[in-house]
């Protein structure tokens, strides 16, 4: 990338983070800005206002923040001078006046408001920002997921936000869309001849998308117990991956061209009926076990409760009712406290129509594995002849493209790319309102009845989930 490309369209800004002393801000948002700064991408004036509602100790906050920022002292010090801690205990005009005065000092800077707080707090913050006259035509707002806890609450939250901001000012973040390999999905599909021709139900048997985590709910028990894996992971991250895999080629990279195609996929998802809930979805919750050689508490112990029927694992069969994907199911699976952390997308191609090698003990079938994390690579599994005389003997081998080998630079975190896109005003990687509504509508078909229809299966921490869930066509999940 040239220096000009790096800094193009980046203008001076004030970034205000509500929830500025929260876990996400400390671990991801502020370090992301530091690394862009360290990479010389922020060659403009900027300030970072970290708003805290409950804590008022600036020194303690900055000390904690430094745990997540790694770099030469001089550079870190220079960056930290731009970080302003503000204790605003209440959402009212009087309390916001200190922020207003600070922002008014730089009338030419763009204003970006990042709401890194539970979405139930969005309406009050937006209303107060309006009343305190903080919002300008050029201001932007970044919203963290989950946006609401069901369709109705999401509609309500959106209606309040849209009183303060136009759709072109709203950036609904899903950090999976900022991951390098996730972006590479678009390149793999739309910049290479080889795969796109075979990318349909005629050639693909099924698609499996897995996001397995080895961590538990960490310190987010109270939030997680109200959310569960379906809303925390499927409603956003897994559905976005599914969209990128299943969408039609957009006519350009224009934000709306891409988002129109993703919307069509979301709209073609077959809603779950009660019968499908009984047969095509599995929920689980982790119990004690061992992960990476460490003894692990159960979910109930982690959240300090006697009972809970919140799921920490979901696996499901999804149907996309359109021409391209008729009869090619997509299996989604995500869980916490799994044996290993990894995410991948496996495209299982169909068996060839005719077999001229009857002695092969392997099906004549290719598999494309797109590994998103922890390593980033693409693997094409193909059948090969074992060299030597004595007829045809076969072995599946993998052709591997490892991104870390091919591109030696440090892989930026997803938040780095997304925050730069916000500063630049590029909405391609952010969910549009209608996308969000379509995702909620589909999730609602599961969410409405599943507590009654889908039992919770307990699974041991460090396993692959309840009962080694086998896909309904008899195939096993591809595991690490
Ligand atoms: C977050 C979820 O959105 O994504 C967390 O709220 C989850 O529960 C995290 O752990 C996973 O992100 P990543 O980038 O580590 O795969």
- pLDDT band of 391, cuts 50, 70, 90: confident
For 167-189, how does the pLDDT look when each residue is reduced to its tens digit (9 = 90+)? 999 999 999 999 888 888 898 89
| Measured distance CA(466)–CA(341) in Å, rounded | 17
Q: Which of 313, 365, 347 is nearest to 242 (CA)?
A: 347
Give Dmax (Cα) for the chain. Answer: 86
Atom nearest to 213 CA in ligand 1: 10
Burial of 142 (0-12, 13-18, 19+ CB in 10 A): buried
For residues 204 and 404, which has the higher predicted lDDT (pLDDT)?
204
- pLDDT band of 470, cuts 50, 70, 90: low
Token pair belonging to 112: 């970006």
By the 8 A CB rule, do 55 and 22 touch? no
pLDDT at residue number 114: 98
pLDDT at residue number 480: 52
Which protein residue has the closest C-alpha to ligand 1 atom 5?
A: 232
The pLDDT of 303-314, averaged and rounded, is 95
Token pair belonging to 380: 């094409």
The pLDDT of 194-204, averaged and rounded, is 92
3-state SS assignment for residue 257: helix
pLDDT at residue number 353: 87
Beta bridge partners of 463: 338
Token pair belonging to 164: 């303060």
Which protein residue has the closest C-alpha to ligand 1 atom 6?
A: 232
Beta bridge partners of 347: 207, 368
Give phi and psi for 30, each to the nearest 5: -70, -45
> Among 237, 319, 354, 433, which one carries the catalytic annotation?
237
What is the CA(237)–ligand 1 centre distance, in A? Answer: 9
Q: Please determine, for residue 121, whether its predicted confidence score (pLDDT) is greater than 90.
A: yes
Reply yes or no on whether 480 is catalytic.
Answer: no
CATH 3.30.360.10, the chain: domain bounds: 177-414+433-470
For 348-379, how does the pLDDT look when each residue is reduced to its tens digit (9 = 90+)? 999 988 888 887 888 888 999 999 988 888 89
Atom nearest to 211 CA in ligand 1: 16
pLDDT at residue number 278: 87
Which residues are CB-contacts of 349 (< 8 A; sequence separation ≥ 6)?
198, 203, 204, 205, 365, 366, 367, 368
The pLDDT of 312-323, averaged and rounded, is 96
Atom nearest to 227 CA in ligand 1: 6
Give phi and psi for 87, each to the nearest 5: -95, 110
Q: Which residue has the tokens 């500025």?
A: 20
By the 8 A CB rule, do 334 and 212 touch? yes
Atom nearest to 236 CA in ligand 1: 3
What is the CA(179)–ligand 1 centre distance, in A? Answer: 12
Token pair belonging to 348: 């299982």
pLDDT at residue number 407: 67
Q: Which residue has the tokens 């590029």?
A: 426
Atom nearest to 179 CA in ligand 1: 14
The pLDDT of 244-271, averaged and rounded, is 96
How would CATH label the architecture of 177-414+433-470?
Answer: 2-Layer Sandwich (3.30)
- State the pTM of this model: 0.93
What is the CA(210)–ligand 1 centre distance, in A? Answer: 13
What is the CA(287)–ligand 1 centre distance, in A? Answer: 20
Burial of 80 (0-12, 13-18, 19+ CB in 10 A): middle
By the 8 A CB rule, do 7 and 68 touch? no
Pocket probe for ligand 1: among 27, 149, 175, 182, the residue whose CB has the most ligand atoms within 8 Å is: 175
pLDDT at residue number 4: 77
Q: Please determine, for residue 334, whether its predicted confidence score (pLDDT) is greater than 80.
A: yes
| Measured distance CA(169)–CA(139) in Å, rounded | 7
pLDDT at residue number 469: 59
Which protein residue has the closest C-alpha to ligand 1 atom 4?
A: 233
pLDDT at residue number 401: 80
pLDDT-wise least confident of 23-27, 335-339, 463-467? 463-467
pLDDT at residue number 365: 86
For 37-57, how does the pLDDT look when each residue is reduced to its tens digit (9 = 90+)? 999 999 999 999 999 998 778
Mean pLDDT for the chain overall: 91
What is the CA(401)–ligand 1 centre distance, in A? Answer: 25
What is the CA(182)–ligand 1 centre distance, in A? Answer: 14
CA distances from 418 to 41, 43, 245, 300, 415 (A): 13, 18, 20, 35, 5
- Ligand 1: residues with CB < 6 A are 175, 213, 232
pLDDT at residue number 307: 94
CATH 3.40.50.720, the chain: domain bounds: 3-172
By the 8 A CB rule, do 194 and 368 touch? no
Pocket probe for ligand 1: among 232, 239, 338, 412, the residue whose CB has the most ligand atoms within 8 Å is: 232
Atom nearest to 174 CA in ligand 1: 3
Q: Please determine, for residue 477, whether its predicted confidence score (pLDDT) is greater than 70.
A: no
Which protein residue has the closest C-alpha to ligand 1 atom 9?
A: 233
- pLDDT band of 112, cuts 50, 70, 90: very high
| Measured distance CA(243)–CA(318) in Å, rounded | 12
| Measured distance CA(300)–CA(288) in Å, rounded | 9
Pocket probe for ligand 1: among 233, 235, 337, 414, the residue whose CB has the most ligand atoms within 8 Å is: 233
By the 8 A CB rule, do 412 and 243 touch? no
Which protein residue has the closest C-alpha to ligand 1 atom 2?
A: 232
- pLDDT band of 73, cuts 50, 70, 90: very high
pLDDT at residue number 393: 84
What is the CA(213)–ligand 1 centre distance, in A? Answer: 8
pLDDT at residue number 468: 54
| Measured distance CA(189)–CA(262) in Å, rounded | 14
Token pair belonging to 401: 């493209």
What is the CA(261)–ligand 1 centre distance, in A? Answer: 25
What is the CA(372)–ligand 1 centre distance, in A? Answer: 13
Q: Please determine, for residue 471, whether its predicted confidence score (pLDDT) is greater than 80.
A: no
- Overall fold of domain 3-172: Rossmann fold (3.40.50)
């Amino acid at each position: 990338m040239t220096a000009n490309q790096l800094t193009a369209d980046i203008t001076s800004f004030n970034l205000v983070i509500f929830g500025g002393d929260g876990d996400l801000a400390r671990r991801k948002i502020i370090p992301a800005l530091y690394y862009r700064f360290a990479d010389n991408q922020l060659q403009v004036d900027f300030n970072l206002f970290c708003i805290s509602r409950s804590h008022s100790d600036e020194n303690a906050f900055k000390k904690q923040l430094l745990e997540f920022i790694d770099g030469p002292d001089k550079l870190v010090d220079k960056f930290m001078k731009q970080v302003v801690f503000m204790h605003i205990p209440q959402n009212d005009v009087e309390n916001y006046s200190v922020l207003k005065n600070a922002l008014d000092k730089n009338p030419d800077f763009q204003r970006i408001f990042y709401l890194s707080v539970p979405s139930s707090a969005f309406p009050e913050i937006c209303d107060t920002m309006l009343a305190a006259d903080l919002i300008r035509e050029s201001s932007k707002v970044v919203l963290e997921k989950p946006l609401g806890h069901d369709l109705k609450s999401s509609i309500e939250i959106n209606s309040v936000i849209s009183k303060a901001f136009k759709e072109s000012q709203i950036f609904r973040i899903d950090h999976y869309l900022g991951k390098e390999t996730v972006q590479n999905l678009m390149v793999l599909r739309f910049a290479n001849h080889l795969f796109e021709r075979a990318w349909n139900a005629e050639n693909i048997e099924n698609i499996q998308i897995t996001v397995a985590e080895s961590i538990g709910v960490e310190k987010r028990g109270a939030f997680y117990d109200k959310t569960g894996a379906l809303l925390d992971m499927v409603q956003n991250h897994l559905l976005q991956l599914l969209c990128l895999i299943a969408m039609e080629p957009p006519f350009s990279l224009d934000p709306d061209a891409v988002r129109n195609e993703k919307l069509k996929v979301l709209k073609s998802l077959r809603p779950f009926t009660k019968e499908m809930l009984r047969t095509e979805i599995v929920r689980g919750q982790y119990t004690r076990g061992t992960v990476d050689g460490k003894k692990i508490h159960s979910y109930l112990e982690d959240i300090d409760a006697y009972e809970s029927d919140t799921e920490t694992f979901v696996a499901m069969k999804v149907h996309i009712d359109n021409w391209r994907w008729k009869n090619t199911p997509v299996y989604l699976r995500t869980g916490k406290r799994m044996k290993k952390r990894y995410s991948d997308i496996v495209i299982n191609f169909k068996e060839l129509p005719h077999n001229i090698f009857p002695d092969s003990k392997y099906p004549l079938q290719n598999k494309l594995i797109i590994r998103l994390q922890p390593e980033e690579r693409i693997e094409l599994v193909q059948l090969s002849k074992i060299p030597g005389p004595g007829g045809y003997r076969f072995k599946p081998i993998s052709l591997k493209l490892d991104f870390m080998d091919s591109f030696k630079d440090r892989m930026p975190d997803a938040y780095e790319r997304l925050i730069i896109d916000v500063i630049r005003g590029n909405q391609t990687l952010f969910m549009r309102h209608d996308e969000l509504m379509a995702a909620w509508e589909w999730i609602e078909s599961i969410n409405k009845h599943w507590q009654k229809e889908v039992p919770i299966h307990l699974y041991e921490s460090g396993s692959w989930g309840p009962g080694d869930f086998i896909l309904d066509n008899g195939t096993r999940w591809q595991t690490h």
